Structure 1
Amino acid sequence: MTIERIGPPLRGSERETLRTFLDFHRATLAMKCEGLTDEELARRSMPPSTLSLLGLVRHMAEVERTWFRRTMNAEDIPLRWSPEGDFQAAYDTTGATGAEAFAAWEEEVGHSRAIEAAAESLDVTGYNKRWEEDVSLRLVMLHLIHEYARHNGHADLLREGVDGTVGA
């Protein structure tokens, strides 16, 4: 799999800039995992933490599903690995594979992109059950950028611990 990571436009529209920053961070997570075995992807940072690259991919699939499909698109669907409200459960990678996690994550990213592209504007709202509030697509996209950026920092350290790869 070749991962293409395109930087955001220097003078793009708000929506184009948000979309590109989000895709940049999605590609960064994929790059941090590229070329690793299931065992390497599942390697934990340090006890008692359950944090691993594989867990991050599973977690971000849940985040994409929650914010775009469940919140913005009002789909009544369960999470894949996390009982309601327990997003830490996705970090338990017992018996999980990279192929399974990446297939789910890529599927959710595809749904997210389609939902965002179909929205008339960044002001379109969806209902966030956890907050019991309507939220805008703008907030959702910014929240996802924040989530990816934070977790990509974790991914940097995890990847370095696996095989010494740093950067990007």
Structure 2
Amino acid sequence: MITMTNPERIHPSTTAGEREMLESWLEFHRETLALKCAGLSEEQLRKTAVEPSDMSLLGLVRHLTEVEQGWFHQVLAAEDVPRLYTSDENPDGDFHLTDQDTWAQAHTAWREAVGRSRELAATRSLDDLGEGRHRSGRTYSLRWIYVHMIEEYARHNGHADLLRQRIDGATGE
């Protein structure tokens, strides 16, 4: 069985303060997703390997791009960001790939969304409330958004583990 490793992925400190701990765990999970996709072909990244789900690694990256934009860009900063992949008519569009959808496009959009998320969070306190509103109408603190994003990535990295193992047998943290 192949084991994946990534010496550049930094493991979170076990003694950091709250903000550093939250940020480092989110970064760890972001890079874990990238690791799960590393070294695969376009065809493999598109593979829906856990039937009956239409989830793929490419779809997960597209989904998490919209999640980054939703929580950091829209809820935290009240930016008007159009949805890239989903719509009211196709709420799971992030997982519904067309022949025109590519890894390069999705990966670039995800990295740009992550970069913007970092910028938006950098100048705020964990106690700061989002300037925008979630579709629920509720207001969220940056602290809550960090915790939720860690949960979101961790859950989807579990999906990515299963997909990757089905694709090429690779396993790893």
TM-score bin (small chain): over 0.9
Question: Which residue in the other structure is 1:67 paired with?
Answer: 71
Give the TM-score of the pair, scaled to structure 1.
Answer: 0.93
Q: For residue 79 of structure 1, report the CA deviation from its aligned partner.
A: 1.0
Q: For residue 23 of structure 1, report the CA deviation from its aligned partner.
A: 0.1
Aligned CA-pair RMSD: 1.6
Question: Which residue in the other structure is 1:97 paired with?
Answer: 102
Question: Which residue in the other structure is 1:24 paired with?
Answer: 28
Any conservation in 1 of the 2:78–2:133 contact (CA below 8 Å)? no
Q: For residue 129 of structure 1, report the CA deviation from its aligned partner.
A: 2.9
Q: Which residue of 142, 145, 165 maps to 1:160?
A: 165
Question: Which residue in the other structure is 1:37 paired with?
Answer: 41
Amino acid at match of 2:43: E
Deviations 1:70-109 (A, max 9, x none): 1101001211111159652201122211111100000000
Does residue 52 (structure 1) correspond to residue 56 (structure 2)? The answer is: yes
Give the TM-score of the pair, scaled to structure 2.
Answer: 0.91
Amino acid at match of 2:45: L
Q: SS in structure 2 opposite 1:91? A: coil
Deviations 1:41-89 (A, max 9, x none): 0000244321000000000000001000011010012111111596522
State the percentage of identical aligned residues. 47
Question: Which residue in the other structure is 1:112 paired with?
Answer: 117
Deviations 1:24-48 (A, max 9, x none): 0000000000011111000002443
Q: SS in structure 1 opposite 2:140? A: strand
Q: Distance in 1 between matches of 2:94 and 2:153?
A: 15
Amino acid at match of 1:138: R
Range 18-27 or range 4-13, more displaced: 4-13
Question: Which residue in the other structure is 1:151 paired with?
Answer: 156
Gaps of 5+ in 2: 1-5
How many residue pairs get matched? 166
Structure with the higher fraction of residues in strand conformation:
1
Q: For residue 128 of structure 1, report the CA deviation from its aligned partner.
A: 2.7
Amino acid at match of 1:110: G
